[in-house]
Amino acid sequence: MSETKQYPVLKHIVNVIKNAIADSKVEEQSQSVSIIKDGNDSIHIKQLFDSTEDIATIFITDKKEILFSEDLLETLQDIADSAKGDAALKKLLQATTIIVNDLTIETDFIFQAVKESFNELSDSYEFIKTTDKNIEELAAQFKFGDNRFDIKLKNESDIIRIEAQVNDAVTPKVKKIIEADVVKIEQGLTKMFKEDK
């Protein structure tokens, strides 16, 4: 049985994850697909290229959020640093975009920070669910007391945009509080993630 020759970027990322998760096993399904099994859970990893065949995107499906619980998102964000002594691989990794559960890693970090920011501003805020994810954008539902509202988050290259969509049934006073808090969070996170780079 011949061994599958996987793309170097995929193979490297799979090895980094496998080595970080004790007792995990790797199943190489093809040149561009691997599955890391951790007990009954699995992480599906697929590599695709852009139209030039030069720039890779790694799509990771991790339904049980193993990467998050194992603190591997930061490792993946700085994956090029792990290619010690291999300049060619390091260059490929620097050009690679990693998408975890339909979001870039930075957008995922930003969304975690949004949730933490709401909690820091008031105990009245509660995250309900994510309703849509699309690489650098997401939509989610929150509550402020008994009042539900939606946010749309967009991670742009130089700014983070957060828009609140507050139901008409919410009182003007509460609506004003939510909208002011969203502006504070948007400005704070733009400063943290974009201006300090």
143-183 per-position pLDDT tens digit: 999 999 999 999 999 999 999 999 888 999 999 999 999 99
pLDDT at position 87, please? 93
Q: Is beta strand 160-166 parallel, antiparallel or unpaired with respect to 125-134? A: unpaired
Nearest 10 degrees: Cα torsion 172, 173, 176, 182? -120
pLDDT bin (cut points 50, 70, 90) of residue 1 is very low
- Domain check: are 62 and 119 in the same one? no
- Specify the number of domains making up the chain: 2
Nearest to 176 by CA among 154, 152, 153, 144: 144
Kindly give the pairing relationship between strand 56-61 and strand 97-100.
parallel
Domain boundary among 101, 126, 152: 101
The band of 3, judged by pLDDT with boundaries at 50, 70 and 90, is low
* Biggest CA pair distance of the chain: 69
For residue 95, how many other CB atoms are within 10 A of its CB?
A: 14
- What pLDDT is stored for residue 196 in this prediction? 61
The predicted-structure confidence for 117-133, as pLDDT tens digits, reads as follows 999 999 999 999 999 99
Q: What is the spatial distance between Cα 173 and Cα 46, in angstroms, rounded to a whole number? A: 48
Confirm whether 3 is domain-assigned: no
Closest C-alpha to 27, from 16, 43, 13: 43
Query: How many other β-carbons are positioned within 10 Å of the β-carbon of residue 72?
Result: 20
- Domain annotation covers residue 80: yes
Residues 16 and 95 in one domain: yes
Question: H-helix or E-strand containing 64?
Answer: none
> Does 2 have pLDDT greater than 60?
no
Question: Model-level pTM?
Answer: 0.86
Entry field: residues in the chain: 197
- Residues 114 and 73 occupy one common structural domain: no
Residue 102 binned pLDDT confidence (cut-offs 50, 70, 90): very high
* Domain termination site, one of 56, 81, 101: 101
Contact 110, 27 (CB under 8 A): no
Return the half-sphere exposure (C-beta side, CA atoms, 13 A cut-off) of residue 59.
Answer: 10
48 with 73, same domain? yes
Residue-range definition of the domain harbouring residue 152: 105-195
- Domain co-membership, 118 together with 161: yes
Domain boundary among 101, 130, 146: 101
Tell me which residue of 113, 146, 110, 143 sits closest to 126, measured CA to CA. 143
H/E element holding 54? Answer: none
Regarding whether 13 and 42 lie in a shared domain, the answer is: yes
